[in-house]
Amino acid sequence: MASLTNLFEDIPPSSPEELFQALITTNTFKLERILSFGQASPDGFWYDQPLAEWVVLLKGSATLQIEGESQIRYLSPGDILYLPAHQRHRVESTSSTEPTVWLALHYKS
Amino acid sequence: MASLTNLFEDIPPSSPEELFQALITTNTFKLERILSFGQASPDGFWYDQPLAEWVVLLKGSATLQIEGESQIRYLSPGDILYLPAHQRHRVESTSSTEPTVWLALHYKS
Protein backbone atom coordinates (compact mmCIF):
# COMPACT_ATOMS: atom_id res chain seq x y z
CA MET A 1 0.00 0.00 0.00
CA ALA A 2 1.38 3.37 -0.95
CA SER A 3 1.88 5.90 1.80
CA LEU A 4 -0.91 8.36 2.31
CA THR A 5 -0.21 11.81 0.95
CA ASN A 6 -3.25 13.33 2.68
CA LEU A 7 -4.82 12.24 5.97
CA PHE A 8 -8.29 12.69 4.52
CA GLU A 9 -7.86 10.71 1.32
CA ASP A 10 -8.90 7.11 0.71
CA ILE A 11 -11.83 7.30 3.12
CA PRO A 12 -14.75 5.14 2.01
CA PRO A 13 -18.23 6.47 2.82
CA SER A 14 -18.89 3.48 5.05
CA SER A 15 -17.34 0.23 6.20
CA PRO A 16 -18.59 -2.68 8.29
CA GLU A 17 -15.32 -2.60 10.26
CA GLU A 18 -13.05 0.12 11.53
CA LEU A 19 -10.03 0.61 9.29
CA PHE A 20 -6.49 0.85 10.71
CA GLN A 21 -3.60 2.07 8.61
CA ALA A 22 -0.06 2.19 9.99
CA LEU A 23 1.73 5.33 8.81
CA ILE A 24 5.06 4.87 10.60
CA THR A 25 6.23 1.88 12.61
CA THR A 26 9.51 1.84 14.54
CA ASN A 27 10.81 -0.17 17.49
CA THR A 28 9.40 2.36 19.92
CA PHE A 29 6.22 3.73 18.40
CA LYS A 30 3.51 3.27 15.82
CA LEU A 31 1.63 6.14 14.19
CA GLU A 32 -1.66 5.08 12.67
CA ARG A 33 -4.78 6.47 11.08
CA ILE A 34 -8.01 4.97 12.33
CA LEU A 35 -11.31 5.34 10.50
CA SER A 36 -14.59 4.64 12.29
CA PHE A 37 -18.01 4.44 10.69
CA GLY A 38 -20.40 4.36 13.61
CA GLN A 39 -18.61 1.47 15.32
CA ALA A 40 -18.33 1.28 19.10
CA SER A 41 -16.54 -1.10 21.45
CA PRO A 42 -18.56 -4.27 22.04
CA ASP A 43 -20.60 -4.40 25.23
CA GLY A 44 -18.33 -5.02 28.18
CA PHE A 45 -15.14 -4.67 26.13
CA TRP A 46 -12.35 -2.43 27.45
CA TYR A 47 -9.14 -1.56 25.67
CA ASP A 48 -6.18 -2.34 27.94
CA GLN A 49 -3.06 -1.54 25.95
CA PRO A 50 0.58 -2.18 26.86
CA LEU A 51 1.68 1.06 25.17
CA ALA A 52 0.78 4.64 25.97
CA GLU A 53 -1.44 6.29 23.37
CA TRP A 54 -1.77 9.88 22.25
CA VAL A 55 -4.78 10.23 20.01
CA VAL A 56 -6.48 13.12 18.26
CA LEU A 57 -9.89 13.07 16.60
CA LEU A 58 -9.64 15.06 13.36
CA LYS A 59 -13.03 14.59 11.69
CA GLY A 60 -16.38 13.26 12.87
CA SER A 61 -17.13 12.76 16.55
CA ALA A 62 -17.02 10.11 19.26
CA THR A 63 -17.84 9.41 22.87
CA LEU A 64 -15.37 7.62 25.12
CA GLN A 65 -15.49 6.11 28.56
CA ILE A 66 -12.29 6.20 30.60
CA GLU A 67 -12.36 3.68 33.45
CA GLY A 68 -12.81 5.47 36.76
CA GLU A 69 -14.38 8.60 35.28
CA SER A 70 -18.03 9.26 36.04
CA GLN A 71 -18.65 11.22 32.84
CA ILE A 72 -18.48 10.05 29.27
CA ARG A 73 -16.14 12.22 27.21
CA TYR A 74 -17.46 13.76 24.00
CA LEU A 75 -14.79 14.31 21.35
CA SER A 76 -14.98 16.89 18.56
CA PRO A 77 -12.44 17.68 15.85
CA GLY A 78 -9.06 18.58 17.32
CA ASP A 79 -9.73 16.95 20.68
CA ILE A 80 -6.72 15.14 22.13
CA LEU A 81 -6.57 12.29 24.61
CA TYR A 82 -3.51 10.98 26.44
CA LEU A 83 -4.03 7.38 27.54
CA PRO A 84 -1.28 5.97 29.76
CA ALA A 85 -0.38 2.32 29.20
CA HIS A 86 -3.12 0.10 30.63
CA GLN A 87 -5.54 2.98 31.10
CA ARG A 88 -8.70 1.05 30.39
CA HIS A 89 -11.12 2.80 28.07
CA ARG A 90 -13.87 2.04 25.61
CA VAL A 91 -15.39 3.80 22.64
CA GLU A 92 -19.06 4.26 23.39
CA SER A 93 -19.97 5.64 19.98
CA THR A 94 -18.63 7.20 16.80
CA SER A 95 -20.54 9.39 14.37
CA SER A 96 -23.14 7.55 12.33
CA THR A 97 -23.46 10.37 9.80
CA GLU A 98 -19.86 10.77 8.64
CA PRO A 99 -16.56 8.89 8.93
CA THR A 100 -14.56 9.64 12.06
CA VAL A 101 -10.83 10.13 11.43
CA TRP A 102 -8.36 9.55 14.26
CA LEU A 103 -4.60 9.89 14.35
CA ALA A 104 -3.09 7.71 17.07
CA LEU A 105 0.47 7.49 18.31
CA HIS A 106 1.18 4.34 20.36
CA TYR A 107 4.50 4.50 22.19
CA LYS A 108 6.71 3.19 24.94
CA SER A 109 6.47 5.86 27.61
CA MET B 1 2.28 24.89 30.40
CA ALA B 2 -0.72 22.61 30.62
CA SER B 3 -1.12 19.97 27.95
CA LEU B 4 -3.31 20.89 25.05
CA THR B 5 -6.73 19.29 25.11
CA ASN B 6 -7.52 20.38 21.54
CA LEU B 7 -5.05 20.87 18.68
CA PHE B 8 -6.87 24.02 17.57
CA GLU B 9 -7.01 25.80 20.92
CA ASP B 10 -4.66 28.51 22.17
CA ILE B 11 -3.95 29.84 18.69
CA PRO B 12 -3.37 33.59 18.65
CA PRO B 13 -4.62 35.47 15.58
CA SER B 14 -1.07 36.48 14.75
CA SER B 15 2.48 36.28 16.06
CA PRO B 16 5.78 37.80 14.93
CA GLU B 17 7.41 34.37 15.33
CA GLU B 18 6.37 30.82 14.64
CA LEU B 19 5.23 29.02 17.80
CA PHE B 20 6.50 25.53 18.67
CA GLN B 21 4.83 23.47 21.37
CA ALA B 22 6.16 20.04 22.33
CA LEU B 23 3.29 17.63 22.99
CA ILE B 24 5.28 14.49 23.75
CA THR B 25 9.03 14.10 24.12
CA THR B 26 10.76 10.75 24.59
CA ASN B 27 14.28 9.47 23.94
CA THR B 28 13.35 8.51 20.41
CA PHE B 29 10.82 11.05 19.17
CA LYS B 30 9.24 14.43 19.69
CA LEU B 31 5.68 15.26 18.71
CA GLU B 32 5.07 18.96 18.36
CA ARG B 33 2.50 21.46 17.21
CA ILE B 34 3.82 24.26 15.05
CA LEU B 35 1.89 27.46 14.37
CA SER B 36 2.88 29.71 11.48
CA PHE B 37 1.52 33.18 10.79
CA GLY B 38 2.81 34.01 7.36
CA GLN B 39 6.43 33.22 8.22
CA ALA B 40 8.78 31.62 5.71
CA SER B 41 12.33 30.34 5.92
CA PRO B 42 14.86 33.17 5.58
CA ASP B 43 16.40 33.63 2.14
CA GLY B 44 18.98 30.94 1.53
CA PHE B 45 18.11 29.01 4.70
CA TRP B 46 17.57 25.26 4.46
CA TYR B 47 16.43 22.96 7.22
CA ASP B 48 18.88 20.06 7.55
CA GLN B 49 17.67 17.97 10.47
CA PRO B 50 19.36 14.97 12.12
CA LEU B 51 15.99 13.28 12.72
CA ALA B 52 13.40 12.08 10.25
CA GLU B 53 10.20 14.11 10.23
CA TRP B 54 6.62 13.19 9.48
CA VAL B 55 4.53 16.32 9.26
CA VAL B 56 0.91 17.05 8.46
CA LEU B 57 -0.60 20.45 7.75
CA LEU B 58 -4.00 20.61 9.47
CA LYS B 59 -5.17 24.19 8.94
CA GLY B 60 -4.05 27.02 6.70
CA SER B 61 -1.68 26.42 3.80
CA ALA B 62 2.00 26.50 2.92
CA THR B 63 4.46 26.09 0.10
CA LEU B 64 7.63 24.05 0.56
CA GLN B 65 10.76 23.50 -1.43
CA ILE B 66 12.43 20.10 -1.15
CA GLU B 67 16.04 20.19 -2.28
CA GLY B 68 16.41 18.46 -5.63
CA GLU B 69 12.78 18.87 -6.66
CA SER B 70 12.02 21.21 -9.54
CA GLN B 71 8.52 22.05 -8.31
CA ILE B 72 7.47 23.84 -5.15
CA ARG B 73 4.97 21.76 -3.16
CA TYR B 74 1.69 23.37 -2.20
CA LEU B 75 0.21 21.99 1.04
CA SER B 76 -3.48 22.06 1.96
CA PRO B 77 -5.19 20.70 5.09
CA GLY B 78 -4.47 17.01 5.57
CA ASP B 79 -1.39 16.99 3.36
CA ILE B 80 1.44 14.84 4.71
CA LEU B 81 5.17 15.04 4.13
CA TYR B 82 7.82 12.48 5.01
CA LEU B 83 11.22 14.09 5.31
CA PRO B 84 14.11 11.66 5.80
CA ALA B 85 16.90 12.81 8.12
CA HIS B 86 19.01 15.46 6.39
CA GLN B 87 16.50 15.93 3.58
CA ARG B 88 17.09 19.61 3.04
CA HIS B 89 13.94 21.66 2.68
CA ARG B 90 12.66 25.18 3.21
CA VAL B 91 9.28 26.73 3.82
CA GLU B 92 8.68 29.19 1.01
CA SER B 93 5.47 30.61 2.46
CA THR B 94 2.65 30.06 4.92
CA SER B 95 -0.83 31.54 4.74
CA SER B 96 -0.98 35.25 5.47
CA THR B 97 -4.74 35.21 6.03
CA GLU B 98 -5.06 32.58 8.78
CA PRO B 99 -2.80 30.67 11.16
CA THR B 100 -1.26 27.51 9.74
CA VAL B 101 -1.35 24.53 12.11
CA TRP B 102 1.18 21.72 11.68
CA LEU B 103 1.62 18.51 13.62
CA ALA B 104 5.20 17.23 13.33
CA LEU B 105 6.73 13.99 14.53
CA HIS B 106 10.54 14.06 14.65
CA TYR B 107 12.03 10.61 15.16
CA LYS B 108 15.04 8.36 14.92
CA SER B 109 14.36 6.32 11.81
What is the rounded CA–CA span in Å between residue B59 and residue B76?
A: 7
* Nearest of A33, A40, A45, A85 to residue A64 by alpha carbon: A40
Contact A26 B108 (CB under 8 A): yes
Global pTM value: 0.95
CA distance A83 to chain B (A): 12
Q: What is the residue-averaged pLDDT of chain A?
A: 96
ipTM greater than 0.85, yes or no? yes
Q: What percent of chain A has pLDDT over 70?
A: 98
What is the rounded CA–CA span in Å between residue A78 and residue A91?
A: 17
Q: Please check whether residue B74 touches A, CB under 8 A.
A: no
CA distance A23 to chain B (A): 9
pLDDT in tens, A34-66: 999 999 999 999 999 999 999 999 999 999 999
Give how far the C-alpha of residue A14 lies from the chain's centroid of Cα atoms, to the nearest Å.
16
Contact A58 B58 (CB under 8 A): yes
What is the rounded CA–CA span in Å between residue A58 and residue A6?
A: 13
Contact B54 A24 (CB under 8 A): yes
Question: In a 10 Å sphere around its CB, with 0-12 CB exposed, 13-18 middle and 19+ buried, how is residue A19 labelled?
Answer: middle
- Chain B residues with CB under 8 Å of A82 CB are 3
pLDDT at A2: 56
Q: Helix count (H) and strand count (E) of chain B?
A: 0, 8
DSSP type of residue A6: B
pLDDT in tens, B54-75: 999 999 999 999 999 999 999 9
* Nearest of A93, A109, A80 to residue B6 by alpha carbon: A80
What is the rounded CA–CA span in Å between residue A60 and residue B51?
A: 32
pLDDT at B69: 96
Res. B109 pLDDT band, cuts 50 70 90: confident
pLDDT in tens, A61-84: 999 999 999 999 999 999 999 999
pLDDT at B1: 46
CB B25 within 8 A of CB B34: no
- Chain B residues with CB under 8 Å of A54 CB are 23-24, 31
